[in-house]
């Protein structure tokens, strides 16, 4: 459901703000607004990474991402076991080029949800060479994911990400 709200429509801002105001303490409202703000930041950046963004585009990206991170941190204080909040935080870290933060978030989230394809897919993208990773790191992560494939067979497809990226 949160992904459906990740639409970079500026006209939606007052609606999200009102939702958060009218439902104090709602982790759902905070995470939804963060998904929206993340979409705004990615649109402003051209969906590339921080290194590729010009100064003005980078500022717009950060202006959207910082409040999204604030919303997610508040949301996680209310409900610490939110898979999608971690996915958004990982995506923001990746876009800003913060591999170390992405890795810390991935470890924390995977401790809660070790068989989550969504989390593992997000981190696998961060491990691609274009985002500062390596094929060795991707292969190692895919091997580790296979240990959880009995609970989630979809994890086996992560091994195909290296050939996919090379293609």
The whole-number pLDDT of residue 45 equals: 52
The whole-number pLDDT of residue 90 equals: 97
16-30 pLDDT, tens per residue? 999 999 999 999 999
Query: What separation in angstroms does the CA of 42 have from each of 3, 27, 28, 126, 165?
Result: 14, 22, 21, 15, 21
Read out DSSP for 125-164? HHTSGGGT--HHHHHHHHHHHHTTTTT-GGGGGGGGHHHH
The whole-number pLDDT of residue 53 equals: 53
pLDDT class for 116, splitting at 50, 70, 90? very high
41-89 pLDDT, tens per residue? 988 654 455 455 567 777 878 888 999 999 999 999 999 999 999 999 9
Q: Which residue has the tokens 């190692």?
A: 140
Note the pTM of the prediction, 2 decimals.
Answer: 0.88
The whole-number pLDDT of residue 47 equals: 47
The whole-number pLDDT of residue 147 equals: 94
The whole-number pLDDT of residue 44 equals: 66
122-158 pLDDT, tens per residue? 999 999 999 999 999 999 999 999 999 999 999 999 9
Show Cβ contacts of residue 19 under 8 Å, excluding neighbours closer than 6 positions.
26, 29, 32, 33
Give the mean model confidence (pLDDT) for residues 109-128. 97
d(CA 27, CA 79): 7
């Amino acid at each position: 459901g949160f992904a459906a709200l990740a639409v970079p429509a500026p006209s939606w801002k007052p609606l999200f703000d009102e939702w958060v105001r009218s439902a104090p303490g709602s982790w759902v409202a905070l995470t939804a607004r963060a998904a929206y703000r993340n979409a705004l930041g990615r649109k402003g950046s051209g969906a590339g990474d921080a290194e590729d963004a010009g100064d003005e585009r980078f500022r717009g990206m950060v202006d959207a991402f910082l409040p999204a991170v604030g919303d997610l941190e508040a949301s996680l204080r209310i409900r610490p076991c939110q898979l999608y909040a971690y996915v958004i935080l990982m995506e923001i870290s990746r876009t800003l080029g913060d591999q170390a933060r992405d890795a810390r978030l991935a470890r924390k989230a995977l401790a809660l949800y070790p068989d989550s394809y969504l989390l593992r897919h997000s981190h696998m993208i961060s491990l691609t060479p274009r985002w500062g990773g390596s094929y060795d790191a991707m292969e190692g992560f895919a091997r580790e994911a296979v240990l959880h494939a009995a609970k989630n067979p979809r994890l086996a497809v992560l091994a195909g990400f290296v050939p996919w990226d090379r293609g």
